[in-house]
């Protein structure tokens, strides 16, 4: 599935529903939906985004998910079954995250607190250090586990999986995402396991 620029622009300011279910262990928090996500209704859907490849590499999910043309009910259920939830600091879609105002991001911190109170995940992972600093007023924060919590829930800051983030690879994203996943009790899938018996 492809979209023209005009088609994508028509989804500007669209609100994309959260993907969270009961028993959420690890809640990923994006900055806000991109236009491709708004067009498909699937989080982190833009081609080139490394979110799902990193989840697979980390063993957080056990099979590939490609939401570029939308996410199937089976894919959504797989994420929920693995204890993964997805929300955003700001709910409205923009072409780039830097189109959001600081006030929107600060309001997002309050919105996130309400989501955490409702679903009670074990760990929250915010994907994007710059947005986190603005939203939570932590100008000197660094990536990794934070000293503060959200309603008593441990809080991590992990790298943004956007293709615009040239500092990270699928491997480095996977390593960063695996840490909060382990703390959250998500059973990481040993992807090499099915092949082990063939070596004997």
- In a domain, residue 180? The reply is yes
Structure tokens at 177: 């995402």
- The whole-number pLDDT of residue 193 equals 40
- In a domain, residue 152? The reply is yes
- The whole-number pLDDT of residue 197 equals 37
CA 52 vs. chain centroid, Å, equals 9
- In a domain, residue 50? The reply is yes
- In a domain, residue 24? The reply is yes
pLDDT digits (tens, 9 = 90+) for 123-165: 999 999 999 999 999 999 999 999 999 999 999 999 999 988 8
The answer to whether residue 1 scores a pLDDT higher than 70 is no
- The whole-number pLDDT of residue 195 equals 38
- The whole-number pLDDT of residue 137 equals 96
Average pLDDT over residues 4-25: 95
CATH number, domain at 101?
Answer: 3.40.470.10
Boundaries of domain holding 94: 14-185
Place of tokens 């000197």: 140
- In a domain, residue 131? The reply is yes
- In a domain, residue 148? The reply is yes
**Rounded Cα gap, residues 147 and 160, in angstroms:** 20
- In a domain, residue 196? The reply is no
The answer to whether residue 194 scores a pLDDT higher than 80 is no
Pairing of strands 84-88, 123-127: unpaired
- The whole-number pLDDT of residue 199 equals 39
User: Average pLDDT over the chain, rounded to whole?
Assistant: 92
**Rounded Cα gap, residues 186 and 93, in angstroms:** 29
Average pLDDT over residues 17-41: 96
- The whole-number pLDDT of residue 190 equals 74
Structure tokens at 67: 């939401």
- The whole-number pLDDT of residue 200 equals 39
Q: Count other C-beta atoms under 10 Å from residue 98's C-beta.
A: 10
pLDDT digits (tens, 9 = 90+) for 79-127: 999 999 999 999 999 999 889 999 999 999 999 999 999 999 999 999 9
Place of tokens 């080139």: 48
Q: Is the dihedral of CA 87, 93, 98, 99 positive or negative?
A: negative
- Of the candidates 22, 73, 60, the one whose C-alpha atom is nearest the C-alpha of residue 161 is 60
**Rounded Cα gap, residues 47 and 149, in angstroms:** 33
- Of the candidates 71, 148, 149, the one whose C-alpha atom is nearest the C-alpha of residue 116 is 149
- The whole-number pLDDT of residue 126 equals 98
- Of the candidates 102, 105, 85, 83, the one whose C-alpha atom is nearest the C-alpha of residue 32 is 105
Average pLDDT over residues 68-77: 95
- In a domain, residue 178? The reply is yes
Half-sphere exposure of 154 (CA within 13 A, CB side): 15
Domain count, the chain: 1
pTM of the predicted model as reported, rounded to 2 decimal places? 0.93
């Amino acid at each position: 599935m492809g979209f023209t620029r005009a088609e994508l622009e028509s989804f500007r300011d669209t609100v994309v529903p959260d993907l969270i279910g009961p028993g959420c262990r690890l809640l990923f928090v994006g900055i806000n939906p991109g236009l491709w996500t708004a067009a498909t209704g699937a989080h982190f859907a833009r081609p080139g985004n490394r979110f799902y490849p990193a989840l697979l590499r980390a063993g957080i999910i056990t099979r590939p998910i490609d939401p570029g043309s939308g996410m199937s009910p089976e894919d959504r259920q797989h994420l929920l079954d693995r204890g993964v939830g997805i929300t955003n600091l700001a709910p409205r879609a923009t072409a780039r995250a830097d189109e959001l105002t600081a006030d929107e991001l600060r309001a997002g911190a309050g919105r996130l607190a309400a989501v955490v109170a409702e679903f009670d995940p074990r760990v929250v992972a915010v994907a994007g250090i710059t947005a986190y600093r603005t939203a939570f007023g932590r100008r000197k924060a660094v990536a990794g586990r934070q000293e503060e919590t959200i309603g008593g829930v441990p809080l991590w800051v992990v790298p943004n999986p956007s293709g615009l983030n040239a500092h990270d690879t699928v491997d480095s994203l996977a390593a960063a995402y695996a840490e909060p996943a382990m703390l959250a009790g998500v059973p990481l899938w040993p992807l090499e396991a099915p092949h082990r018996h063939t070596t004997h």
